């Protein structure tokens, strides 16, 4: 038995007859309903873009960003990789005049007189050390043999005689190792430091 279907429509088939209302549809686009109107094709997304809703309006494709820079987005064809940057640095309060520093740790310097904090003898590239002043005593970061600290255009004297010293009780800094065991750069600092 033959089946004959007829909807009495022109071409393109109207929305009211179950069609899109379009003669052609852009390759790779996403279609959005428009009530009784013609279906709306959205712009074609680029690698890694996501569809984001918009109240009472058509959604749009959007490239994700991180305002605080704590998430890195790596887009690809049909992929989007997200890497969260979370600071899990353990912090130690220093209440004596000397401190052996460890990589990937933070130190709150809380002592009434001068503190000498010595860099670790071994440090992998990318290791960080954070220091925050709290007590009245100013902190001096001392070095081991062959070590140096670079602070902008200045550098400490290489080796045991070199150092970096706070000039205010509440100065803070973060150093990162750029050459294993030997060279450190100041990544960020608040306050002024004396380079020796």
User: Could you tell me the residue range of the domain that residue 27 belongs to?
Assistant: 15-84
What is d(CA 181, CA 131) in angstroms, rounded to the nearest whole number? 19
In a domain, 153, yes or no: yes
Indicate whether 114 and 165 sit together in one domain: yes
Indicate whether 188 and 97 sit together in one domain: yes
Domain end call among 84, 114, 136:
84
pLDDT tens, residue by residue, 107-166 = 999 999 999 999 999 999 999 999 999 999 999 999 999 999 999 999 999 999 999 999
Q: What is the pLDDT of residue 162?
A: 97
Number of other residues whose CB lies within 10 A of the CB of residue 30: 15
Indicate whether 60 and 152 sit together in one domain: no
**Interacting residues of 32 by C-beta distance below 8 A, sequence separation 6+:** 39, 40, 41, 42, 58, 59
pLDDT tens, residue by residue, 43-95 = 899 998 999 998 988 999 999 888 877 888 899 998 989 888 777 899 999 99
In the chain, the number of structural domains is 2
For tokens 């130690």, what's the residue? 92
Q: Which band of pLDDT confidence, cut at 50, 70 and 90, is reported for residue 3? A: low
pTM: 0.60
Indicate whether 22 and 107 sit together in one domain: no
In a domain, 9, yes or no: no
In a domain, 5, yes or no: no
**Ramachandran bin of 158, using left for φ above 0, alpha for ψ from -120 to 50, beta for the remaining angles:** beta
Q: What is the pLDDT of residue 15?
A: 78
């Amino acid at each position: 038995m033959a089946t004959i279907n007829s909807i009495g429509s022109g071409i393109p088939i109207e929305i009211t007859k179950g069609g899109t209302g379009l003669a052609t549809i852009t390759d790779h686009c996403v279609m959005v309903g428009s009530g009784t109107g013609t279906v709306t094709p959205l712009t074609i997304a680029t690698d890694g873009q996501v569809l984001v809703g918009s109240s009472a309006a058509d959604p749009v494709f959007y490239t994700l960003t991180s305002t605080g820079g704590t998430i890195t987005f790596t887009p690809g064809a049909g992929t989007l990789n997200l890497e969260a940057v979370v600071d899990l640095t353990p912090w130690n309060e220093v209440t004596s005049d000397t401190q052996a520093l460890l990589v990937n740790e933070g130190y709150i310097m809380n002592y009434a007189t001068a503190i000498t904090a010595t860099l670790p003898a071994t440090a992998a590239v990318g290791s960080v050390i954070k220091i925050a002043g709290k007590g009245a005593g100013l902190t001096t970061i001392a070095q081991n043999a062959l070590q140096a600290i670079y602070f902008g255009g200045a550098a400490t004297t290489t080796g045991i005689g070199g150092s970096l010293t706070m000039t205010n009780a509440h100065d803070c800094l973060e150093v990162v190792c750029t050459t294993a065991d030997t060279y450190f750069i100041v990544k960020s600092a608040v306050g002024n430091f004396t380079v020796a």
